[in-house]
Amino acid sequence: LLVYDLVKNRKPDWNASTILQYLESRVSSVKLMVAVKSMKYMMRSGRVKFAAGMIARTLNLTPIVSLDENGKSKAMGKGFSQNSNIRKIIRHCMNIKETNGIRYFAVGHAHDPELAIKVADELNNKLGIECTYIMDIAPVIGLHAGKGSLSVAFMTEK
């Protein structure tokens, strides 16, 4: 989304330094949320300790994972199903749109394009803006979040 924003807003006279300053000024406006389908891959990758993962799996809890200001993963919420976590992400996006505005959003998926299209369509309707892109994130996020995971990234106006 940062590169997309840069392409949309770049002026012809910008040099490399100006471009870098622009990107640095916008990086904090980009947020990412991932609805994990299963704890299996989070445990396998070491993101979640085995004992905590087993308890979560027994209770059928799945996390919503986000990134902090340093780019490290953090739990943003949890639910009893991926669908409930996706609903929470959609509600969160609607709240952000009301408070800070959303300039762009994108949906990523780990080998589940049908789910990604469904979520993108719902966000299109609820936010009143078109999804910037939908892409398979399996190589990037799939290692830690696992097959079937879904991500929503957005860039705020502020």
Contacts of residue 18, Cβ cutoff 8 Å, sequence gap at least 6: none
The pTM of this model reads: 0.84
Polymer length of the chain: 158
CA–CA gap between residue 74 and residue 20 (Å, rounded): 27
Q: What are the helix (H) ranges across 10-130?
A: 16-26, 40-44, 50-58, 82-99, 113-127
CA–CA gap between residue 99 and residue 112 (Å, rounded): 31
In CATH terms, 29-156 corresponds, of 2.40.128.120, 3.40.640.10, 3.40.50.2300, 3.30.1180.10, to 3.30.1180.10
The type of residue at 44 is: R
Of 97, 77, 94, nearest in space to 33 by CA = 77
User: Each residue's pLDDT tens digit in the chain (158 positions)?
Assistant: 999 999 999 999 999 999 999 999 999 999 999 998 766 666 566 666 666 666 666 677 788 888 888 777 787 888 888 899 999 999 999 999 999 999 999 999 988 999 999 999 999 999 999 999 999 986 666 666 667 889 999 999 97
